[in-house]
Amino acid sequence: MRRALVLVHEPDGGACRIEERLVQRGFEVMSHLITDDYDQPNEAAPFPSLEGFDLLVPMGSVRSLTRKDQISSWIHDELTLIADAHTAGTPILGVCFGGQLLAEALGGSVETAPVTEVGWFTLSPAPGRENPVGPGPWMEWHHDRFALPPDAELLATTAYAPQLFRLGRSVGTQFHPEVDVNHIQGWLGPATDEYLLSCGTDRETVLADIAEHEAANITQCHALVDWFLDEVAFA
């Protein structure tokens, strides 16, 4: 049985629909929670060894690679872990913050995005490329964006950020394919009305949107995982 290691940065940041599909595809999934206290971001559990794992899935986070001083006790270790996994040929699926980690670990960079995207956005294919995961809409919740590593292939974008790239057996997304209503409720917990308004939305809209899109998102998330496994990771 193949084994997948999911790197979960906070308690509300699990792989959910991604993990669900990996299990359906016969994977044993281990989730490693890095920090369990939002107010103590530098108190982190040591990273496990990659030995015995066939797949690495770093997930999203409220943290930012533009402010590494806030997470200095663990962020460099995670970047090294991701770089080493890629070099060793271990497939990686990085999601949102995980996609940013993947980009930076492989020689790209991360910057503050010109617009914070919170909500459901349609993806456009990159020029001259096909978007293998479909237009969505896909759930976005991010303040930063990645710049691609050397030799990476950009596959999809929105107006404000690259959204999907591939490099070898690794894939990074800026969007959140994994979400369900429990994710969204957890993320909304600490969000103030003022913050949401600054992002161009409100609590009621975010909850109404996940109710509208959740069923279709299960299907498209599972299809994304299938594409990653069959066409990228283990082709």
- Write down the pTM of the prediction: 0.97
What is the model's pLDDT at position 211?
94
Quick one: 37 exposed, middle or buried, by C-beta within 10 A (0-12, 13-18, 19+)? exposed
Cα angle 156, 149, 129 (rounded to 5 degrees) comes to: 30
What is the model's pLDDT at position 41?
86
Q: Annotated catalytic sites, by residue? A: 96, 176, 178
The CA distance from 177 to 156, in Å, is: 14
- In this structure, which CATH number among 3.40.50.880, 3.80.10.10, 3.30.2270.10, 3.40.50.300 belongs to the domain 3-233? 3.40.50.880
The parts of the chain modelled with pLDDT lower than 70 are none
Q: What would the two tokens of residue 75 be? A: 């962020």
Which residues sit opposite 110 in a β-bridge?
146
The CA distance from 76 to 71, in Å, is: 9
Locate tokens 């270790």: which residue?
Answer: 77
What is the model's pLDDT at position 34?
95
What is the model's pLDDT at position 132?
97
What is the model's pLDDT at position 38?
82
What is the model's pLDDT at position 190?
87
SS3 (DSSP) at 153: strand
What is the model's pLDDT at position 189?
87
What is the model's pLDDT at position 39?
83
Q: pLDDT tens for residues 137-196?
A: 999 999 999 999 999 999 999 999 999 999 999 999 999 999 999 989 989 888 899 999
Q: What would the two tokens of residue 117 be? A: 């995207």
